[in-house]
C-alpha cells in the first residue's frame, strides 16, 4: 500500500519511519509532503492507495470528491477528532475513514492540568519577571486547588484521565457528560451542566466538537460560572465562542484561562503574521489579557503519544488491507 502523508513535520516523519522499521509493516510505503490536505492539494494523491491527514486538514466535500476521482479508498486520520471530515461524502464514495481514538489520553490531560496550574499561578509572568531580575510577587497570587471543585465536561478517555489527575490534587471532582463513565463513579459525581458551571473552581473541556457542543461556552454559560473560575480548553476551539470569552474576561469572571485550541487555528492565522490579520484576530485579542495562556495545540505532543499514533495508524492500514472491521472506523452518526 502506498500512502501519501500530508502536512508532514519532521517529528511525524521520524516517528512513522521508526515505527515502520521497528514493528515491521513490509507492505506499506509512505511518501511525505509538507502540504496540508485541502481542495488545492488533494490531486497530489493520484497514484496512491491512501492518504494520511490531521486535524488541521480541510477534508470537506470538494476534497473528498477529488480524492475519490484520484482513486483513494482509505483516509487515515492520525488523530482522535474528525470534525473536519465530510463523512457523508466519504460514505457516498466508499472511502473508508479510520482514526486513532485514544493514543495517549494522559498526554492531553497532563497538558490541561499544566495550563490550569500555569494560569492560576501566572507561571509565564513569573518566568519573565525573574529573567528580568524582578523578584517581587505582585500579580502572581493564585489559589490552592486542594479541596476546590474541578468540573470536567466530557468524561471519555481524556476527561477520565483529567478526573484522575484532579483527584490526585485532592480536588472534589464533578462531571457532565451525555453518558456516564462507569470507571469513575466511585470518585466523580455526575451533575447537570448548570450545576457544574455554577459549582466549579476549575472547568476543563473534554467533549468533541459537534453541532450540540458548538459554542457551548458562550456568554450565557459564562455568566453561570463562579467569579474567579479557571477555564481550560484542550479539546476544540469552537467549543468556546471567543468573542463571548473576551467579554467574560472583561467582566473579570476568570482567574485564569488556559487554551491549547482556539477558533482560528484552522485558518493558520499565525502563519501569516501581517499586522492586519493580527489586528482582526480574536486570538491576538485574547493574548492581550494577562490571565490568558495559549499554547499551540500541543496537548498530544509527547514521545509516547507520537509513537502510539504511528503504531495505530499503520495497524489501521493493515486492517484495511486485510478487509477487517475495526473499532477505529469512523462511521456517520
What residue ranges bind ligand NAD (CB under 6 A)?
80-81, 102, 105, 108, 153-159, 176-179, 206-209, 212-213, 234-236, 260-261, 297, 299-300
Query: Residue 107 and residue 105: Cα distance in Å, rounded?
Result: 5
Site of grid cell 456568554? 219
Note if 265 is an active site residue: yes
Query: Residue 288 and residue 148: Cα distance in Å, rounded?
Result: 28
- Cβ atoms of residues 196 and 176 within 8 Å: yes
One of 78, 236, 263, 264 is an active-site residue; which one? 236
Rg of the chain in Å (alpha carbons)? 21
Q: Minimum distance between the CB of residue 202 and ligand NAD, rounded to whole angstroms?
A: 17
Q: Minimum distance between the CB of residue 26 and ligand NAD, rounded to whole angstroms?
A: 30
Q: Minimum distance between the CB of residue 199 and ligand NAD, rounded to whole angstroms?
A: 16
CA torsion angle 308 309 313 316 (round to 10): 50
Taking each helix axis as running N to C, give the angle between helix 105-120 and helix 123-131, from 0 to 180 degrees, rounded to the nearest 10: 60
Report CA torsion sign: 311, 91, 239, 201. Answer: negative
Nearest residue (CB) to ligand NAD, 132 versus 182: 182
Compute how many other C-beta atoms are within 10 angstroms of the C-beta atom of residue 258.
27
> How many residues are listed for the chain in this entry?
333
One of 96, 111, 206, 297 is an active-site residue; which one? 297
Note if 122 is an active site residue: no
| C-beta nearest to ligand NAD: residue | 156
Nearest residue (CB) to ligand NAD, 256 versus 258: 258
Note if 236 is an active site residue: yes
Q: Minimum distance between the CB of residue 80 and ligand NAD, rounded to whole angstroms?
A: 4
Nearest residue (CB) to ligand NAD, 72 versus 163: 163
Nearest residue (CB) to ligand NAD, 72 versus 115: 115
Q: Annotated active-site positions, please?
A: 236, 265, 297
Amino acid at each position: 500500500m502506498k500512502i501519501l502523508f500530508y502536512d508532514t513535520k519532521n517529528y511525524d516523519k521520524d516517528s512513522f519511519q521508526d515505527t515502520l522499521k521497528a514493528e515491521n509493516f513490509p507492505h506499506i510505503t509512505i511518501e511525505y509532503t509538507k502540504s496540508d490536505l485541502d481542495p488545492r492539494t488533494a490531486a497530489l494523491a493520484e497514484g496512491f492507495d491512501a492518504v494520511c491527514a490531521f486535524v488541521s486538514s480541510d477534508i470537506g466535500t470538494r476534497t473528498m470528491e477529488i480524492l475519490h476521482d484520484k482513486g483513494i479508498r482509505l483516509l487515515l486520520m492520525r488523530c482522535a477528532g474528525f470534525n473536519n471530515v465530510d463523512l457523508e461524502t466519504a460514505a457516498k464514495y466508499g472511502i473508508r475513514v479510520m482514526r486513532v481514538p485514544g493514543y495517549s489520553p494522559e498526554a492531553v490531560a497532563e497538558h490541561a492540568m499544566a495550563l490550569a496550574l500555569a494560569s492560576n499561578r501566572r507561571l509565564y509572568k513569573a518566568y519573565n519577571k525573574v529573567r528580568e531580575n524582578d523578584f517581587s510577587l505582585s500579580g502572581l497570587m493564585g489559589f490552592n486547588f486542594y479541596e476546590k471543585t474541578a468540573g470536567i465536561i466530557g468524561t471519555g478517555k481524556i476527561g477520565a484521565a483529567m478526573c484522575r489527575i484532579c483527584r490526585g490534587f485532592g480536588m472534589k471532582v464533578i462531571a457532565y457528560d451525555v453518558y456516564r463513565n462507569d470507571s469513575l463513579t466511585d470518585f466523580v459525581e455526575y451533575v447537570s451542566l448548570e450545576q457544574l458551571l455554577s459549582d466549579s473552581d476549575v472547568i476543563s473541556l473534554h467533549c468533541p466538537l459537534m453541532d450540540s457542543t458548538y459554542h457551548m461556552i458562550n456568554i450565557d454559560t459564562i455568566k453561570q460560572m463562579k467569579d474567579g473560575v479557571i477555564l481550560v480548553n484542550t479539546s476544540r476551539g469552537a467549543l468556546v465562542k471567543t468573542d463571548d470569552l473576551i467579554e467574560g474576561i472583561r467582566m473579570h469572571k476568570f482567574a485564569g484561562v488556559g487554551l491549547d485550541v482556539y477558533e482560528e487555528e484552522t485558518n493558520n492565522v499565525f502563519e501569516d503574521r501581517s499586522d492586519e490579520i493580527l489586528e482582526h484576530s480574536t486570538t491576538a485579542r485574547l493574548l492581550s489579557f494577562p490571565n490568558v495562556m495559549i499554547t499551540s495545540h500541543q496537548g498530544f505532543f509527547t514521545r509516547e503519544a507520537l509513537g502510539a499514533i504511528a503504531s495505530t495508524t499503520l495497524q489501521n492500514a493493515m486492517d484495511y488491507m486485510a478487509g477487517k472491521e475495526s473499532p477505529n472506523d469512523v462511521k456517520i452518526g
